[in-house]
Homo-oligomer: A and B are copies of this chain.
Amino acid sequence: MSTSFFQDMLGEIAERGRSLLERSAVVPAISRVGWWNTAKSADIAELSHALLSGRGEASGVAIAKQVLDLYSGLSPEDRTAFFGLLARDFAPDPERVRAAWAEYDASQSPASLHALLRAVEPPRQELFRRLNLAPGGTRALVAMRQALLAEADNQQEFASVADDLEHLFYSWFNRGFLMMQRIAWSTPADILERIIRYEAVHTIQGWDDLRRRVQPPDRRCYAFFHPSLIDEPLIFVEVALTRETPHSIQEVLADERETLPPERATTAVFYSISNCQPGLRGISFGNFLIKQVVEDLCRDIPSLKTFVTLSPVPGFGRWLGRVAENPDAAGLPGFDPSRLSALQRPSWHKDPEVAAELRPIVLGLAAAYFLRVKSGKGQPMDPVARFHLGNGARLERLNWLGDTSPKGLRESAGLMVNYLYDLGTIEAHHEAFANQGVVAASGPVQRQLRDFAAGILEGRVAV
């Protein structure tokens, strides 16, 4: 009998996270209770207004459930119409905003400031909070934002609605509410299946490939979960335990390789990190996840000294294309881009001669790409670089032919890089990067750029 307390609590958590539809299919008996039946209307607009009104206070859970049930059955057109409703009818009332401002302007009191805040906050934020009363509400709202974002390109006004959801999610998905879980071969299959589906960096080729990434003692995978989305990973990271910083993804993902006993590992390599929920776009989990994993690994495996990534350079290929057309884009006066044309040949990387010629040029350009080239906002152009540098990591090494998959060749010219998470300098690097845009890079990488630039000037390189 006495197991019931936490067993039930776990059950409750699971239940809450379950999607509304499943639940309503499974438990129709619930309608015996009167207030699940109060809907006199099947009109989603009417019910949404009711949810914000007095009726919503009495029967919020039931009405929220009805709204989400109706929502899940909307045709694409009706859904777009509903989003329009949210954008217009549940926006702040300009008259009320103006009146609140006037009051504040006159009194400058805390109360009037508070009233102004309430007037400016879009009513749909409260609507969303009330929709969350329904079982499965969080899951439904995350999906709703995904749909809103997909339509926001065409319908600018939807962006505000998506922003309001983002503001809510930023609060609800606070790191303090997340649970980090190790993903292993003993993890429930439905969750593993999602890992296969969500992997965004190095595609998982099926169950055998997945197993190679989560079962060996020198491979780890960790994910964040939220109590209201219990079986949905939010983000996950894959880690290899090694004795050296790897040069290529091929050696990490090899089918046949010797397993390293974890207690002999010195290095933890983060070789893939994937966000899973498009509906949570803009809520950043990666920084927290990496640091939590470092912390946990430190505790479990005292022999670990080095925490490093093996990362793609997804913007590099496109940038090289631009440089090929317009060499000035590289910021390297005197650089002759004609030799880059070898990159167009199929399977160029398998021709040792071609590869040997390209190597210094590509690595030199890569050093420039990371250290010199900036986006409009003064940041590195590469999104992965922005992420890790923003976390306080340091660009440690450029790996020639680190990823020879078609995608790797196309997007990164085969290049992979290591970012080093050095615990003693993370904060200083983060601040220098955030405040002055300083890109932390190892001596060798800096030298690569210097030598390359000098080489161009001296005519040694590629001219």
Contact = CB atoms under 8 A, between A and B. Distances in A.
Contact of A38 (B116, B177, B228, B427): B427
A375 to B, nearest CB: 19
A45 interface: no
A189 to B, nearest CB: 5
A1 B176 contact: no
Nearest to A22: B1
Contacts of A392: 58
A278 interface: no
Interface string A120-153: 1110000001001111011000000000000000
Interface residues of A, number: 109
Interface string A166-193: 0010111011110111101111111111
A110 B157 contact: yes
Contacts of A60: 175, 288
A264 B164 CA distance: 43
Main secondary structure of the interface of A (DSSP, over half): helix
17 contacts: A2-B188, A2-B231, A4-B186, A5-B181, A5-B186, A13-B179, A29-B299, A38-B427, A55-B430, A57-B430, A58-B391, A61-B288, A110-B156, A117-B121, A120-B120, A133-B175, A177-B227
Given A11-B3, A54-B435, A138-B176, A426 B189 contact: no
The 10 A-B pairs at the shortest CB distance, nearest first, are namely A34-B423, A2-B186, A58-B430, A132-B176, A12-B179, A3-B14, A2-B188, A227-B227, A54-B434, A2-B231
A33 interface: yes
A374 interface: no
Contacts of A91: 110, 113
Given A35-B291, A97-B104, A189-B189, 18 more contacts: A1-B184, A1-B231, A2-B188, A3-B9, A5-B191, A7-B14, A9-B181, A12-B181, A29-B299, A33-B423, A35-B427, A54-B434, A91-B113, A97-B116, A172-B177, A177-B227, A185-B189, A189-B207
A298 B9 contact: no
A299 B435 CA distance: 47
A29 B301 CA distance: 13
Nearest to A139: B176
Interface in A300-320: none
A16 B423 contact: no
A24 interface: no
A299 B30 contact: yes
B9 A6 contact: no
B427 A58 contact: yes
Given A13-B227, A129-B171, A184 B295 contact: no
A225 interface: yes
Nearest to A207: B207
